[in-house]
A and B are shown apart, each in its own frame.
Chain A
Amino acid sequence: MKFNIYDLTSFTQWIDSSLRASMSPGWAVTVEMIIIGLAILIFFALIGLFLVYAERKVCAFMQNRLGPNRVGPGGIFQTVADLVKLLFVELVPIKNADKILFNLAPFIVIVASIMAIGALPFAKGLQAIDLNIGVFYLMAVSSMGVIGVLLAGWSSNNKYSLIGAMRSGAQIVSYELSVGLALITMVILAGTMQLSEMIEAQRWGWFIFKGHIPAVIAFVIYIIAGTAETNRGPFDLAEAESELTAGYHTEYSGIKFALFFLAEYINMFIVAAIATTVFLGGWMPLHVYGWDGFNKVMDFIPPFIWFLGKTFGVVFVMMWLKWTFPRLRIDQLLTLEWKFLLPINIFNLLLMAFLVLAGWHW
């Protein structure tokens, strides 16, 4: 089998065909599912650890500090050490907490983000499942996490947690609209919800360049709303360290806290990955029509490098926002969504529809 990093379709098909050759189709599918599940879990942990490390380094850079620099070269194993420590921390039992919901909450949050990762196209042919309603699916599963946050706040029997959870509920339900509308704007432009087709449509220009002004507006709104969806600063009202100590996960300790913590970073990655896929061309290299030499050079960089590079670029912007801006108040947060982002978004949607109908988008 010829391994080609520029097109992993042959690689995945080789796995599939060799599995099917050695066992019955039912077993082959089961084994494939297990392989994918393990791969996603490993990726999940790695990306979570890396993002925590990256955030600490980025914020140190913004804040005139060095950041972690003791464990391993440049402190790269610091987060691993932190995770190991969190694994051994005692799980403090909470009296009068709703035990079932309390234990269930972190898993809902984690499962929601794992499900979203499953549908992301990492490179050509490297996508666990290519749904024909990919964008819709991503929006659906990523909004599931809020249930976990609400349950965590409710079941902790802590007043700060409850306030944090209620804020988070109001916030995510509101900003879900903006995320959805911004993505629908791009779906109009692409004419499809299937992620692989969307990426293919961006071969000769990413949507953010192709879609003229509406795409740029949608991108900005998506970044704002996406940051809000992940409960990160300046929208981190659900945690609001200085007001609510730690918000909805005040009472969580040890590995349960670590799950919330990891999920926050994974969600950030997912939001950035969706932005990459829908606005910035996914794993598609930067092509300019007619510049053949330039395109050749760009094609030389493997697709997953393109994907991860763009995603971490967006992640960096989100970190930059967090470490620069102070936190909003809950009423300002809702005002921003319902009085500004939503009307702009609806207008933008109409503008994009008009643009596509008029055929100005190529």
Chain B
Amino acid sequence: MSAPMIELAKVSKSFGANQVLRDVDLAVQRSEVVCLIGPSGSGKSTLLRCVNFLEPYDSGDLRIDGRLIGYEDVAEGTRRPMAARTLREMRREIGMVFQNFNLWPHMTALSNVAEPLRRVRKLASREAADRAMAMLTRVGLAAKADAYPSRLSGGQQQRVAIARALAMQPRLMLFDEPTSALDPELVGEVLEVMKSLAAEGMTMLVVTHEMGFAAHVASRIAFIDEGRIIADGPPRRVFHESPEPRVRQFLQTYQDRNSF
């Protein structure tokens, strides 16, 4: 059996005296969609950001397709930070979508998507533009190719950001609360794009507060609380059958807030 696409073994991370991840174990298989849910401050985003080493973890092993990210083993029990170049090569294969889109404001939608293709994949500008256009078409924004991000709605900006990540043809995608900064009526268009990605078999790790999306699209839900994964399983099991009081309490609060 091949290695999981993402595998965390005893991953820990502290900010100063504050331990945000405590011996986290998690595996995401090829083509799985795993949603990370949990209260704010529980460590979900930190966990996600450790996967492409935007946030360095302190200890444990985090492997992408079997390969340790961020560190190189030098001898038994000792490791050193991975060479920057190697880390960049690994990151090319990991698409990331941020809560605040993080588009480059001085570039058009098309240039935002084409830029990494030109600088990182070293495509000729014509080729990069063609592929970028194809990606924008895919997220339904071909008509906005020449628009600057400030002229796009939040939902459109996030779709451009997804296109930018997808254009690199990553092996997996990370989503860090992709709809949390959006007006409610714009959430749907972003979730639609994510659903279609999931349907095509993209491996996805998603930090989200969209319980509907998690329930319907995720293969598994991992519930994280105080830096520990306290429930991990198919949505039905986590949402309805979890014996964990913290999980039940969280879901109850969520339901109360969303009923009117």
| A and B held together in a complex | no
Binding site for A on B (CB under 8 A): none
Binding site for B on A (CB under 8 A): none
